[in-house]
Amino acid sequence: MKVLVTGGAGFIGSHVVDALIEEGHSVAVVDDLSSGKREHVNRHATLYELDIRSPDLDQVLAQERPEMVNHHAAQVDVRHSVADPVFDADVNILGSLNLLECAREHGVRKFIYASTGGAVYGEPIYLPCDENHPLNPVCPYGVSKLAVEHYLYLYSLSYGLEYTILRYPNVYGPRQDPSGEGGVVAIFARQMVHEEQVVINGSGEQERDFIYVDDIVRASMLSVDRGQGQVYNLGGGAGVPINELFAKMKEMTGYASEPVHGPPKLGETFRIYLDAGKAREELGWEPVVGLEEGLKRAIESFRDAP
């Protein structure tokens, strides 16, 4: 099958590209390389260096004629979305609409969308959040990602586009950029292996659901032929406090210093973790890489990085 992966030079998207090619699919990548890296793109994939907002996107789909789109390209920084909500909406909503229109025009059958479980629910009423939890995002990023979920429902209803929505937790692993789209694991790992000062934003008591990138990729692959018209949380069902994460990584790396606490990040949910029971029942998915093993792999990848 021919697949178009947006954001395929980025952290998660590049791993998805690798998995698709390993399973024998033909893959084209659209990425403007604003945060993705050319060297992360599988050599068997065709790379189009292009912004998803570009009118030239239509030409790419006309040429490639993909049967499926796996959409990872996005503005993913919560703080940036708070500082510049217009830019966030421009990329995440209008860019995605441009992609959807191109998909409709050129006969795409299936659309897999990387959404966020960490931002669409807002401050949880109950934990872990399942897919029935109220959707009240507290940052523009969460609003923009949720808006595209609604557009997917509309395009399915109006044009027959099949889709599966995957709401990601805090994903970590090799290729994550600690200076760009990086999550806390990538940031801590880089700082610890280089003996730099670790800064924890806020009290460190905030909790997140950490899932290793290989498990996220497996969910994406399972969605190729399953989950039509469905939304799935991906997560482990339990939160890990940031202070606890720091302690684990400090022990693993032999980091000698204590953290410094900075101000909390505006727009970020304090405590969030996800119930993935629906994904387990309908996709046959559950995380298999435990936090200890995943952190070990992530840390080693930063030790090996230049």
The SS3 assignment for 71 reads strand
d(CA 302, CA 187): 10
Q: Which residue has the tokens 């400090």?
A: 250
Catalytic residue among 121, 141, 163, 212, which? 141
The answer to whether 113 and 53 have CB atoms below 8 angstroms apart is: no
Rg (CA), the chain: 18
Q: Are 301 and 146 in contact (CB under 8 A)?
A: no
How far apart are alpha carbons 28 and 102 in whole angstroms?
15
Quick one: which of 151, 272, 148 has its CA closest to 210? 272
Q: Which residues pair with 199 in a beta bridge?
A: 260
Q: For residue 31, give the nearest of 117, 91, 118 by alpha carbon.
A: 91
Strand arrangement, sheet containing 26-31: 46-49, 26-31, 2-6, 68-71, 110-116, 162-168, 230-233
Using DSSP bridges, classify how beta strands 68-71 and 110-116 pair: parallel, antiparallel or unpaired. parallel
Element (H, E) at 150: helix 140-159
Q: Please, what is the end-to-end C-alpha distance for the chain in angstroms?
A: 36
Active-site annotation holds for 141: yes
Distance CA(244)–CA(248), nearest Å, equals: 6
Active site residues: 141
